[in-house]
Amino acid sequence: MTTPLLQVRNLVKQFPIRGGLLQRVVDRVHAVDDVSFDLCAGETLGVVGESGCGKSTTGRCILRLIEPSAGEVHFDGKDVTRAGKEELRALARDMQIIFQDPYASLNPRMTVAAIIGEALTIHKLAPTRAAYEARIVELLETVGLSSDHMRRYPHEFSGGQRQRIGIARALAVRPKLVVCDEAVSALDVSIQAQVINLLEDLQQQLGLTYIFIAHDLSVVEHISDRVAVMYLGRIVEIAPARDLYRNPRHPYTEALLSAVPIPDPTVKRERIRLQGDVPSPIHPPSGCHFHTRCPIAQKGLCDVMRPELKPVGDSGHQVSCHLRG
């Protein structure tokens, strides 16, 4: 069996809530609650769930853009969670992120060349001015833009083009892993498809590994090899994409999938409407976090005992449910 490029073990992130005159910690937001998974080189893991489920925080903790509260992250044999400043800087070359909002994530006062070239300068990847400019042109062409765009500013581009600039910036340091954090969520559906196709082509060409975070199962279906579904900080189901879409096991995944439109008009799928809102991550429900909204929850079991992620079959499909394991 191949060694995973990325191993995440029991990752936890709690954000303290301070209050009172002395600004003491009065509560905590349980954003990521014991998340574990492996990711092999060249693979794409889709991570989905409603907003506030901890998917973006998980991605940022893996890169140490946010400090995890507990747990371990190993990348390419290196312990990310214990890496010092210098080691982290070196790791930043291998692990990059593309942000959701291409309007907010690009500095409006910098030219496209300066935005993409910043990392080349920081990591000393272009020994001469000519090499610096040649690499920027190469990156722009890689993402479907041209050298004419170098001297322009972000406001001169459309949303899709800006996201291409964000992708070029992430690729500048030749990373192995890219966290796409809601990278297409702010774009129109037709532009989403173009950017997803570009990301797939780049994966083929450059051997990239992706964590592709989105709130919608239909967005990750095409690009993901495996999909993890998160609810209130926990992975409730993780499976090869085909398995998950054809045979969802967790009631929450079923509900999410029932909202995904089916292109074939002859196939009817009944929409499952969950009752109530997602509970607060400050005081998540006991036992199975989903029990307050689950249509098949059993009192005395689901509200008391936390279900572990357990394998179903031998395809790598895992589900966290007392009744569907």
* Residues in touch with ligand SF4 (CB under 6 A): 250-251, 288, 290-291, 294, 296-297, 302, 307, 321-324
Selection from 39, 90, 40 nearest residue 64 by Cα: 90
Which of residues 19 and 313 has its CB atom nearest to ligand SF4 in the complex?
Answer: 313
Which of residues 121 and 298 has its CB atom nearest to ligand SF4 in the complex?
Answer: 298
Residues 6+ apart with CB under 8 A from 125: 119, 135, 172, 173
Which of residues 119 and 309 has its CB atom nearest to ligand SF4 in the complex?
Answer: 309
Which of residues 145 and 302 has its CB atom nearest to ligand SF4 in the complex?
Answer: 302
Which of left, alpha, beta for 84 (phi over 0: left; psi -120 to 50: alpha)?
Answer: beta
Which of residues 75 and 290 has its CB atom nearest to ligand SF4 in the complex?
Answer: 290
Residue 58 backbone dihedrals phi, psi, to 5 degrees: -60, -50
Mapped to the 3 state alphabet, what secondary structure does 30-88 carry?
EEEEEEEEEECCCCEEEEECCCCCCHHHHHHHHCCCCCCCEEEEEECCEECCCCCHHHH
Query: What is the distance, to the nearest Å, from the Cα of residue 159 to the centroid of all Cα atoms in its chain?
Result: 20
Compute the least distance from the CB of residue 43 to ligand SF4, in Å. Answer: 27
Compute the least distance from the CB of residue 113 to ligand SF4, in Å. Answer: 51
Residue 144 backbone dihedrals phi, psi, to 5 degrees: 85, 15
Compute the least distance from the CB of residue 138 to ligand SF4, in Å. Answer: 49
Q: Are 251 and 295 in contact (CB under 8 A)?
A: yes
Residues 6+ apart with CB under 8 A from 6: 38, 39, 62, 73, 74, 75, 76, 177, 209
Compute the least distance from the CB of residue 279 to ligand SF4, in Å. Answer: 12
Compute the least distance from the CB of residue 184 to ligand SF4, in Å. Answer: 29
Compute the least distance from the CB of residue 288 to ligand SF4, in Å. Answer: 3
Selection from 237, 239, 271 nearest residue 255 by Cα: 271
Residue 275, Cβ density class (10 Å: 0-12 exposed, 13-18 middle, ≥19 buried): exposed
Which of residues 12 and 323 has its CB atom nearest to ligand SF4 in the complex?
Answer: 323
Residue 95 identity (one-letter amino acid): M
Compute the least distance from the CB of residue 44 to ligand SF4, in Å. Answer: 26
Which of residues 26 and 296 has its CB atom nearest to ligand SF4 in the complex?
Answer: 296
Compute the least distance from the CB of residue 273 to ligand SF4, in Å. Answer: 16
HSE, CB side, 13 Å, CA atoms: give it for residue 265.
Answer: 0
Which of residues 251 and 281 has its CB atom nearest to ligand SF4 in the complex?
Answer: 251
